Structure 1
Amino acid sequence: MAKRDYYEVLGVSKTATLEEIKKSYRKKAIQFHPDKNPGDKEAEEKFKEAAEAYDVLSDSTKRQRYDQFGHAGVGGAASGGGFGGGMSMEDIFSQFGDIFGGHFGGFGGFGGFGGSRSGRRVNRGSDLRVKVKLNLKEIATGVEKKIKVKKYVSCSHCKGTGADGSNGYTTCSTCKGSGVVTRIANTILGQMQTQTTCPNCGGEGKIITKKCVECNGEGIIRDEEIITINIPAGVAEGMQLSMSGKGNAARHGGINGDLLILVEEEPHPELIRDENDLLYNLLLSVPQAILGDTVEVPTVEGKAKVKIEPGTQPGKVLRLRNKGLPSVNSYGTGDLLVNVSIYIPEAVSSEEEKVVKSWMTSENFQPKKTIKEKIFSKFRHMFD
């Protein structure tokens, strides 16, 4: 099913400010919060959809890519899913809980789903950047690429926990597993409650008592992974796609980073790209331009025959409709523009010279004078 427009999801305009986006997301999250809609799968999906839209529109770089390339620019087409679809509810709570003052699950009286999780610190892996080279044919049709990436992956021995076995860690005694400590201070304004990250466990809610021998308690190891990337048709040089969760794994079973794919375009030996149009410089001989001909020109798919009309002038542009590249947002296909040039030989044989001179004396090959030139030649004696 096609993804909805992110601005439509949050109910904001494309010129909305960050504060307007945040305010709208807060309303949507409250409306579709799982604690308010227990067992409602549709509400849960809308909750994730709103989180995905906010993730993109609240980030200036992602928002710029989305405005320019649509879902393909932020992972919608590259990964087959976006932010909300690739993350759990806990991931969303930990990622965006701060816009509700630190306790995502506790707003509006809801506490069952997010309240116990809201304070715990969740590690996030770093993003990875790779470059992918594409030729014009791959850009025209879209392509699946398999790349080998060196990255941090979750330790299989401890399943990313960093602890050796199920008894390798214990609940933090300072925060009782919540990841935060609450302090109440008496001030002249009355009692003030503050909440900070637990200094004992660093906000994770647990303490490792026996480290994993494979990862030394980190929960991640260095390894290689083969990743399949689906490149949509119509991408361009410098465009950046993203795949959610395909970056470096995080310590202690946190949220994986993203894989950012930078598109590099290999030059075509004959065709030049101009946005979605393709340009080709066709070189005709003088006889071909004068008498007309049928010639072949290169296209992305192969060759196409083009009819040259008799008397074709240099500089004429022939347009082959829909022989260019598709738009990445499916807004149509560009054209192939064939620019006609005439080849003039630098040297000719004596026989060829005679033919050319006979042309020059022929009335049909004399350039027609303009009215201004005719008047000037008739009254030239007045200017001599």
Structure 2
Amino acid sequence: MNKRAVSIILLAIVFCLGVFALKGGRQLLAEVADVSSGAPSLISYQGYLADSGGTPLSNGNYAMSFAIYTASSGGTKVWEESQSSVAVGGGYFSVLLGSGSCTTGCPLGASTFSGTTRYLQTSVTTGSGTTTFPRQQLAAVPFALQATEAQTMAWSGLTSVPSGFADGTDDGATYQHVVTVAKSGGDFTSVASAMNSITDSSSTNRYLVRVMPGVYTETSLVTVKSYVHVQGAGPNATVITSSRSSSTPSNASATVDLLDNGRISNITVRNTGAGTYGIALYSAETSRDAVVDNVEAEAIGAGGTGHYAAYWNDAEATIRNSSLFAGGAVGFGTAVNAGFGSVNISGGFPQALIENSKLIGGSNNFAENCNDPTGTGFGMQLSNSSPQVRYTYICGGHRGIA
């Protein structure tokens, strides 16, 4: 081949095949096949070199240089490198742009493609001299290098950031009728306060109160209002506890009062009151639409004569998937530690629904072998009421059901 008469054809593709007419009848087809999205930043670039008659350039190694500009002619050079020994076989070559000797805009990376358009200029040196080809516009793939900056971009470097994300945290997001109780960062730090803030719940205006992990020690009664769902993060994660007690088995002795159409789930409710009566869950005059689900209820104060994990007063609230335990009341044959208590005072014959649960009264916390010598334990203590019980373990150190 007469190298002085060599005309170069550079074959490449930038997503699609494009043919460009050059001065002197030369042709250039360019391929930018891939871009590495991580470090190092490399662009795979392939081409075909031939003379004006289509005969491929002789096999061997050739010096080539590559540059990226902001315009098809003139403009600003934003990057350039040379590769001193590019292997050519059958006219074909393949290089990784970014792996050569960089002289301008080093290294090849996101800043190289920060503008809207970029053009690649290629040169090859043969025995007859250096041939520089017209620039080709780069398509989308190399611009993916710019996207790598998003991995480490600071919030201050972004535009159109919603106000709730200005500090890097989604602290501005709010949901209608969702109240969050948390040790910090929530709407309230007290479950009782959160419940007291809800004044308009109804069948068409329902609320969810999410109680995040932690132990919440309450002095005021936690009233689960109608059409409000109090949801913890799980019985082992969220605990509502109080030492409330009084001389009567009423909500004055209770940690939580469940109203009709209210719901409490995924939580532990504990009462450690040592007065006459201590109750974890209390409910009065409710239907089965009031629900206790996946709750561990404990009435475990040291002292007193009447402890109830759940005490229903003319109530039919549903209990399912829950564990109820009472212990700590003292007085052989006179004191009561009952997993569940139900009384009928105002008439009717309340029939609560209890499913897939454990009701235990005695001295051994949640132990299914609840036999103990205190003479105080009852799985259920009923007065003129008859709950419907399904798939439930009932155990009392004194009596299972009384």
- TM-score class, shorter-chain normalisation, is under 0.3
Question: Which structure has the higher relative contact order (CA within 8 Å, separation 6+)?
Answer: 1
TM-score, length basis structure 1: 0.20
The structure with the largest strand share of the pair is: 2
TM-score, length basis structure 2: 0.19
- The structure that has the greater radius of gyration is 2
